[in-house]
A = this chain, B = another copy of it.
């Protein structure tokens, strides 16, 4: 039988143990090399006056150096994202030019602060760069639309440092079907098959996020190396075409690949369609992509007004907001299904990601805390946070055709 005093002592000890456990998990998190395999942050670089070295709030961004440091995020794949445009020569040319400029902007970010950033090209670079306390900058292509009808353009992006390519985005394009559009090709197109072959030759990782199931299957079959889903969830947790069903997650794992869990609201939980809201929200988000040519003051004002308009929209058309537990349900489902060597993190930061309780990269240590509590070991967490993605990158590099 416990005396009142003993109970108090035990309570304090338990609280202390909790604090200690949390601190230990935090410490572990900051020791690991933590990568996110889908950072849409390069879009922020095109905002006039926006400086990644400064901490931001209220400007709808989620990644900058102070928040990366706080959240123990050591880097990842910085995406050259292109919205799907018309499948015309003109549309493809404009996309090509914008994507090349975006690649140059990523390199300029690194060049501007070489004590903070370093370009990474092979898997071994990550540890070397992290050991210097610098941020790891791999580059990836989200939507191969800018390659136009000339798959060889992937070589130009490779020369600029790109090491991962996802064939499609929201819509069908010249390379294959999208998870979120009516099927047209029934998988990869003939050009898509060429893209897969060239990525294999170069040692560029294939990214199946946004691909239709049919394209996923083609990628698994045709890739000469393991592939990645850089930002995807589990269909067993929430039935959305952007998520992977269990069979496909198992196939991905069986070939040595990895699913990097997304934190994009509408893929985590059921959100009833709201066409009225969508109609109003589209142009607001598009505004954020069209700030170039403005002065820094004009850009900042536009961002503030847009953020306010989006908040007003959330009030007028409230919609379910996923929380940290919703995100973790996808993480733990994948971990339970295929184990910690085939799961990681690709939260779609600055591309629509983030949940209540994990609003930006500063909150990432929460994931480690939870996984420590669930019994995952340091070695397992090292793979989850970076090792798996780097293994896939290394395998692609190894399987490449000698130049």
| Interface, chain A (partner B; CB < 8 A) | 93, 96-98, 100-101, 103-104, 107-112, 114, 150, 152, 155-156, 158-160
- Partner among B107, B152, B158 whose Cβ is within 8 Å of the Cβ of A107: B107
- Complex interface: chain B residues within 8 A of A93 (CB): 152, 155
Task: Add 5 more A-B contacts to A100-B159, A107-B107 (CB < 8 A).
Answer: A93-B155, A97-B158, A101-B160, A103-B104, A108-B111
- The docked-state distance in angstroms from the alpha carbon of A337 to that of B150 is 48
Tell me whether chain A's interface is mostly helix, strand or loop, or mixed. helix
Copies of this protein in the complex: 2
A100/B160 contact (C-beta < 8 A), A108-B107, A155-B93 known: yes
- Partner among B107, B112, B150, B155 whose Cβ is within 8 Å of the Cβ of A104: B107
- The docked-state distance in angstroms from the alpha carbon of A16 to that of B192 is 76
- Complex interface: chain B residues within 8 A of A108 (CB): 107-108, 110-111
Can you list 19 pairs linking A and B with CB atoms under 8 Å apart? A96-B155, A96-B156, A97-B155, A97-B156, A97-B159, A98-B159, A100-B100, A100-B156, A100-B159, A100-B160, A101-B160, A103-B104, A104-B104, A104-B107, A109-B111, A111-B111, A111-B112, A112-B112, A112-B114
Q: Indicate if the CB atoms of A159 and B111 lie closer than 8 Å.
A: no
Closest Cβ of chain B to A132, distance in Å, is 16
- Complex interface: chain B residues within 8 A of A111 (CB): 107-109, 111-112
Closest Cβ of chain B to A197, distance in Å, is 15
* Highest count of chain B CB atoms <10 Å: which of A97, A103, A114: A97
